[in-house]
Amino acid sequence: MASFIAQYISDVHELNAYLAGKPVVLDGSSLSLPQIAAIALYPPSPPSHTSVPPTITCAPSLELTSSQYQRERVAASREVIETKVAAGLSIYGVSTGFGGSADTRTDDPLALGAALLQHQHAGVILPSTASAPSHLVGPMPLTDPTHGTTMPATWTRAAMLIRANSLLRGHSGVRWTLVEKMVECIRKGLVPVVPLRGSISASGDLSPLSYVAGMLIGNPAIRTVNFTYPPPGTTMEVMSAPHAFRATGTTPLPLASKEHLGILNGTAFSAGLTSLVVRNTETIGVLGAVLTALAVEAMNGARGSFDPFVGEARPHIGQIEAAHLIYELLAGSQFAVDHEEEVKIEEDDGVLRQDRYSLRTAPQWLGPQFEELKHAKETVQIEINSTTDNPLVEPPRTPTGDGKIHHAGNFQALAMTVAMDHLRLALAQIGRLMFVQLTEILNPLMNRGLPGNLAGGEAALDFGGKGLDIAAAAYAGELNALGGMNVGVGVVSAEMHNQSLNSLALVSARYTLAALEVSELLAASHIYILCQALDLRAIQTEMYSRAGAVVRSVLSETFRDAFATPESLDTVTCRVTPRILNELDQTTSVALGLRMAKAASAAVAPLLEALTSDPSCCVSTLDLPQIARFREILAQRLEALLTELRCAFMGVSLEEVYSSSSSPPQLPMFGIPPMGRAPASKYLASRTRPLYEFVRLELGIPMHGSDNLRKTVYGMRAPGLGKTVDTTHGDKVAMIVEALRNGRIARVVARMCEGIDA
């Protein structure tokens, strides 16, 4: 069986194929999650006279199978119903009442069907306050008065597609024309307005599906929208079903016996929303591993934590897949530690010997979630290609045989509930991992030398990602609450105690969607923070690679007579530089000038020790003014070096930074060229680089800190002064959230994982 990652990549490619023009063909047995996403999420092409913006992707065409065998099965199941009705036989839902009222009898199946729709049209849909009479207008509502009580059109389109797929299986006793009418409505974008709440998902999603049935027959009480791209500046217009049908040239379909129940008695809404949630949750699951790889790079973590031997020693499939993915993603990274060197005890005194749990145990944490995601997908894949009616109609198996009516319970959707309850917990667990990684990367006590809060500018005037840290805690807390919620155990008896066991699958799917949306906020925040951390790690790397030359230059300049040979100068440089770098690691939250003064002061003790212990060094001429001058010059040079690096990484000129300085240094001192819009790219692994570059280059989100360096943050110089056009941290995260929801990041992630065979 294909790995979770391989299935994910396949799903992304499949959706891309439909968006490129491949038609979705309904045949009753091969409906897939990418097909549901293609039809549900992308509006059909509007009428020819409506211009569609060139950036809009419209849904692919939807076709019914051309299989004659399938048509014959549908016709045979319909004939069973018609034959038994003509013979005056009693059939549940055709001659009897429904559920606990099944002890009533009638010989008028059409009136019975109409009564079924009537009593199921019980969902609460609040009217818009805009349409309320002026004398009734009161306080503003706490939520949107319409959308707070109705389902998005995407859910309903998914449900209609799944119900049509189920009906053409030939087990429901309906006509082929009914399936054709549902497909026609999907193609034209006709969607009934369906109440958000009210379904217990057993017997199926009766109430929501009753609104689909009401639209199909043209009931004027059923509100309908046309789900195509509206003209710019407008929204989907809500109208009566007859009005919507006339506007699109559609003819209502009067239903025949059993067809009312054939539409209502199924799990299509639960399965539809579950399908959409599972598909998007797959991206969050894979991102858990992808962002872990980026976090390892940002934190100079060890690739060895994901070595194949670890999985061989504990062969849980999900753990092995997660570790393998992270291990392969990190191949070639200049930030991650590929081969850990063994050192003496005294050589790593005070150093964290291994990575923290958020990195080192990520495969063990993500592995169970991979397995849950895979199981959830398998469960919903079965559901969307099943018949969930009651009663079931079994067509004759031979030309002379009799068909059978089966009274059973395929409408019981607990399989969906269990999948959603488990998936909600999985999202909370993945979110916990992302949150811990994010907070550790922001914390200067844990992030291995990065600035506190990942500030790009001056520590005292730039608090970087602190606000996102707080927001992430809110997201994680909400995910914990949602993850701990078990909808499946909250069942109460319904409908004269007939529906004493009911799944609440649609309720569970709704809560899981809420968890998914919170997870997307958290994942997007983590992506934003990681990109900032990678840029800062690149600055640190560039700084440290140049620091030795700066130290050597200042040593040579201030202690010219102390070094008899270039080799002795090199020896002292090698003794002094590590202490300076260590001090820089420990003082990232200190103001720049003071930080560099501390770093220069840290060099004094090893400098004196080196000079006095090396026979080739002449120390007789050393005096205190020389040492003081060394510290002063070194601090100035290090400050200039870091300032030039910051400017090069953020596209800021040195003149802008020093514009308010009374004594700016001679510029430029090091001549560092601009580093471009994705400066950390050259350090990243080839497989992790695409997501970083997507954020920096395609979304155009730059490294944070340029405004702080210039001191042009709005209101920083004086009230009301500063930049007048800018975006907030939240605006930038929102761009990433949108890229998550519209599938752009999924396509990037699939490319990153392509060819990694687990």
Count other Cβ atoms within 10 Å, centred on residue 591.
13
Nearest to 519 by CA among 544, 482, 489: 482
CA distance 147 to 235: 13
- DSSP 3-state of 77: helix
Instruction: Give the whole-angstrom CA distance, residue 414 versus residue 399.
Output: 37
651's tokens: 């596209």
Q: How many CA atoms lie within 13 A of 583 on its CB side?
A: 22
CB 515 within 8 A of CB 422: no
Identify whether 679 is preceded by a cis peptide bond (ω within 30 of 0). Answer: no
**CA distance readout (Å), 474 to 291, 426, 432, 483:** 20, 18, 12, 14
Q: In the annotation, is 8 catalytic?
A: no
- Alpha helix (H) ranges present in 42-136? 68-86, 109-120
Cα–Cα distance, 538 to 515 (Å, whole number): 34
- CA-to-CA separations, 233 to 59, 229, 230, 236, 662, in angstroms, rounded: 21, 11, 8, 10, 52
Contacts of residue 121, Cβ cutoff 8 Å, sequence gap at least 6: 207, 210, 211, 214, 221, 222
> What residues does 405 pair with on adjacent strands?
393
Residue 225 near residue 154, CB atoms below 8 Å: no
532-536-538 Cα angle (round to 5): 120
Q: What is the bridge-based pairing of β-strands 392-394 and 404-406?
A: antiparallel
Residues 58, 285, 423, CA angle at the centre, nearest 5°? 95
Evaluate whether 415 touches 507 at the Cβ level (below 8 Å). Answer: no
Q: Which of 18, 69, 92, 528 is catalytic?
A: 92
For 195, the 3-state DSSP assignment is strand
| Torsion angle in degrees (nearest 10) through CA of 305, 307, 312, 314 | 10
Residue that is written with structure tokens 């090091």 in the block: 670
| Sign of the dihedral through C-alpha 683, 685, 688, 690 | positive
Q: How far apart are CA 128 and CA 587, in angstroms?
A: 57
Rounded to the nearest 10°, the torsion over CA 671, 675, 679, 681 is: -100
Q: How would DSSP label each residue in 441-470?
A: HH-TTTSSSPPGGG-SS-TTT--TTHHHHH
Q: Is residue 44 within 8 Å of residue 227, measured between CB atoms?
A: yes
C-alpha closest to that of 374 among 417, 329, 419: 419
- Contact, 333 vs 688, CB < 8 A? yes
Q: How far apart are CA 721 and CA 175, in angstroms?
A: 70
What phi and psi values does residue 400 have, to the nearest 5 degrees?
-105, 5
Q: How far apart are CA 239 and CA 227, in angstroms?
A: 12
Catalytically active residues are 92
